[in-house]
A and B are shown apart, each in its own frame.
Chain A
């Protein structure tokens, strides 16, 4: 177990805030390697769990052919992968431990930094995918809708 790099109190507060604009401000100028190392610590894991817990609040929903499970696998070496299943319906998002909701329709696998960037709209999923940082398996159409389902605007737009 490691304590990871030391960040300023303001940056830590921003990362923990859950507010998209504050998270984005906290990410600004932060080297990827440093953030990756910190997200592999227990404190970093807490932030990742918070991001998942806040997802239902951000869910804007949309047409859905019955409930669909989207599995997120967040890699944070040398620590273990953090995975959650998001069970999505037209108007609700339920966050569960991975594996208790049956086979996922789609699995999105990415590193922890990319996950925080995507969840705060600092990066778009398609850019992460093009950079080889995000991998998807399963229903490509559901994967491509993921940001719009959570109301995540493109970088630079309000959100």
Chain B
């Protein structure tokens, strides 16, 4: 449900909710969806009347697509996005109309595609942020409300939670138990509640030109997600936004102080820059029309802590962390923050878990965000060096495989863990994903057969906790009959065998990947990550201990670094 502003000034509307989300970008909207799905009344406050038309983020990775699948919007996102056949390649060339220097196939062979298809019920997609936002707004359930055209000015503590005062033509005051700050990089409320920003050294300024044009004369037959362009006058990247409609984003970093003047002064001719990037002049580009231009500083930012001292405010998405776009992890990390946080808020608000459960949010998510930040920075520095190279084409092509981890990151997408061993990184292998059902990891995807239909193991915990067990694990069904909820959320048990009455493991992949012994069960959290492996000797006591481990494990250690 979306509320538009009324033109007539009036007294502030009073609204009550369980959770107020400040910021209606992808992270805030995803938080509203995930919370509402768990029965939590949520209000989102958003300053803009409509989503920005500028396609900031464009990559929806496979883990985020799994979450969108659970929200029922994955098919629409895929339809609104770029077909796989247009995104399975990265091209390096002099101008778009010039010489091709190298190409990197992300899905180089049928075997590679088949291997990837085994890892997830979905594939990644290129779909611009503004379209994702529009789809998320359209599909909001009844117990989530977006109030647009209001600016959250004040976030105050109340005896029972928080009060947010928002100005606008139709001002509003929201009282809620908790606030999620998804106000983006430039939001002003974080510091007012003691969440102090941090920033690494900026990696330079970029110019973004969002435009439409028919570029098919130069893209047909080598359709790519990205075209890295190294012309004599312009060095940057052309991002495919929507090839069917001829929509593109040209990103040009300032590589030298002179280029700061070239690209960011008032009288820069953006049409000329596009022509230079393509490598043609005049009217050779049909239908060229610029939609928007922005320039921005690329770098990583963060917060000293993601949770206010009083515990009532939690930051997520760009409000908690930003990093270079090289890798496409910004929007994905934000949406996945919201997914991690939502079930914990629901558990606390339903009275099924103490407030200390919320400390695990930053402890789990900060190392992942920091890993993604470091990896994105490495990618950015590598691409910057590549854009400045004068290597001959043959040498350029020979070395291109070194850049695969920038574009091919299934291990980083699906393989991160919330429970790394001491000294271990949260991601062991950026490129290759190795499924494991050990605690902290995303419970691996396996197709199961249920009454002739295929369901994914990742579907079993979408609205609560799920125990996945084998033929000898019927003790868990008895435990669930006695205790049908866990930490305030529904608990289910699925006995998965090759030929039983429950979901059937017709491929044998579940047995192989989950590697359960005897009555052992994997306890999967509502965010799809494994909370524990439980032997099934004393089911109720094992469940109690599993809850205790995450609730009592304390706040995030200061200065956590999740990268190797």
Contacts and interface: CB of A to CB of B under 8 A. Distances in A.
A136 B220 contact: no
Contact of B452 (A31, A135, A145, A156): A31
A158 interface: no
A154 B84 CA distance: 13
A140 B85 CA distance: 9
B114 A136 contact: yes
B126 to A, nearest CB: 14
Interface string B421-460: 0000000000000000000000000010000111000000
B121 interface: yes
Interface-central residue, A63, A140, A154, by most chain B CB under 10 Å: A140
Interface in A130-158: 130-132, 135-141, 143-145, 148, 154-157
Contacts, number: 58
Contacts of A136: 110, 113-114
B79, B112, B507: residue with the most chain A Cβ atoms closer than 10 Å? B79
B278 interface: no
Contacts of B11: none
Contacts of A13: none
Given A33-B452, A130-B117, A132-B447, A140 B109 contact: yes
Interface in B281-296: none
Nearest to B84: A144
Given A106-B110, A139-B110, A63 B221 contact: yes
Contacts of A32: 452-453
Q: How large, as a class, is the contact surface on chain A?
A: 20 to 34
Contacts of A31: 452
A130 B125 CA distance: 14
A140 B107 contact: yes
Interface string B78-106: 11000111001000000000000000000
Given A141-B85, A144-B85, A155-B75, A131 B454 contact: yes
A98 interface: no
A135 B85 contact: no
Contact of A138 (B88, B110, B123, B452): B110
Nearest to B89: A141
A140 to B, nearest CB: 5
A126 interface: yes
B108 interface: yes
Interface string A106-148: 1000000000000000000010011110011111110111001
Contacts of B85: 141, 144-145, 148
Contacts of B122: 130
B117 A140 contact: no
Contact of B84 (A33, A126, A155): A126
A53 B221 CA distance: 28
Given A130-B121, A130-B122, A130-B123, A140 B220 contact: no
Nearest to A108: B110
Contacts of A148: 83, 85
Nearest to A107: B110
Interface string B195-234: 0000000000000000000000000110000000000000
Interface of A: 31-33, 63, 106, 126, 129-132, 135-141, 143-145, 148, 154-157
Given A140-B107, A141-B85, 13 more contacts: A126-B123, A129-B114, A130-B120, A131-B121, A131-B447, A131-B454, A132-B117, A132-B454, A136-B113, A139-B110, A144-B83, A145-B85, A154-B75
